[in-house]
Amino acid sequence: MGIPGDSGDDKERSGGWQSEWQSGGWQSQWHQPEGWKQDAPPVAPQAGPAGWYQTPDGRWVQSGPVTSGKATAALLLGIFGFVLCPLICSVLALVFGYQARNEIDGSGGRIRGRGNATAGIVLGWIGVVICALFVMLIVIGLAFGDSGSTSSPIEGVPAVIVSR
């Protein structure tokens, strides 16, 4: 009982199976034709600037994990919360910081920058607390301050200018 196209001879062939009717056609990987050469290994991707490389089809892609832009924004807004506009920048630092942490945690390691996001959150909360303390001091000053306790005998003139 043979395979269709088999000549019926039972001699064994070393290196794989090939039928006579397939001669010159498909051959197994163990019986390579004369002059057979393996394809050249693929060319290594061309390295580019700062973690970018070029794929064989010519596209440039970024390799490795990237830092979250939201985490960087949270850190910068937290710093600006101390310098420029405490309430607005600090609240924005909190928003971007929490968004960045969720984005980083959900990326499975593809996005980094959790430290920047955490620093932005901490600076944002510090800025919010400083703003709240400042507002409380203003409210206390307005509530307990007495604007009618000047020692000036002349109405509308500050007490420092009048001397007797």
Residue 68 in contact with residue 112, Cβ under 8 Å?
Answer: yes
**Model confidence, pTM:** 0.54
Three-class DSSP category at 86: helix
How many whole angstroms from its chain centre is CA 4?
Answer: 61
d(CA 121, CA 89): 11
Q: Can you give the pLDDT of all 164 residues of the chain as single tens digits?
A: 555 555 555 555 555 555 555 555 555 556 656 666 666 555 555 566 666 778 888 888 777 778 999 999 999 999 999 888 889 999 999 999 999 999 999 988 889 999 999 999 999 999 999 999 999 999 998 888 866 655 555 666 665 655 55
Count of Cβ atoms closer than 10 Å to residue 43 Cβ: 7
Torsional class of 88: left (φ above 0), alpha (ψ -120 to 50), beta (otherwise): alpha
The 3-state DSSP composition of the chain as helix, strand, coil percent (nearest 5) reads: 45, 5, 50
Indicate the domain borders of the chain: 66-141
Residue 70 neighbours by CB distance under 10 Å: 23
